[in-house]
Amino acid sequence: MDMQSSRQLAVTQQQAWDALNDPEVLKLCIPGCDRVEATGENQYAIGMALKIGPVSAKFSGQITLADIDPPKSYTIAFDGQGGAAGFGKGSAKVVLTPNDEGCELGYTVNAQVGGKVAQLGQRLIDGAAKSLAEDFFKRFDKEMQRRFGPAEDEAAPTEKTGMMSGLMKKIGLGKKDEAHESDSENKNA
């Protein structure tokens, strides 16, 4: 299975890098994950429960980081066993690129599965993988907002004071100021 995508993050490249290397953040954001523990330099043990179609299993495995170029990129190698349900192994290249909105996280995954999971069919496996990735990013975005606040465009709206805003007020479509409203109320009384 191969999967490639990218996601805009409303945090800096460094903030995203730090979070992606924090076992607690990963544990919170990886769907079904109950354990991410450092076992050595750039190595982690992971435990997670997955349900793909009719197959449910508890997987345990190892993650190893390689080709590390902070805060830009790394490669994650993973190998997990789920008993009779099967196994999963592969790698993912993760690249963080700064931009005006924060940074873009791009990833390319190459994975193989075996056992009962492999018998489910590629379409079901691909759909489950995309769903897991989407769920991860929803959780990751929520955790980044909790840690660093909402993105600028999601922050509390500010009063518009530009030329168009002034024109809209003059023709009666914009927000009237309170002093002007109270003058109107006094004239009507």
For 7-53, the pLDDT digits (tens) are 999 999 999 999 999 999 999 999 999 999 999 999 999 999 998 88
> Which of 88, 28, 94, 40 has its CA nearest to residue 64?
40
Query: Do 167 and 140 belong to one domain?
Result: no
121 and 167 share one domain: no
| 81 and 173 together in one domain | no
Residues 128 and 184 in one domain: no
Q: Which residue has the higher pLDDT, 138 or 157?
A: 138
CATH of the domain at 96: 3.30.530.20
Kindly report, residue by residue over 87-144, the tens digit of the pLDDT: 999 999 999 999 999 999 999 999 999 999 889 888 998 988 899 999 999 999 999 9
Which distant-in-sequence residues (6+ apart) come within 8 Å of 128 by Cβ?
A: 50, 52, 53
- d(C-alpha 77, C-alpha 43), whole Å: 10
SS3 call for 99: strand
Phi, psi of 181 (to 5 degrees): -65, -40
The first and second tokens of residue 64, run together, are 């190893």
Residue 167's domain comprises 162-189
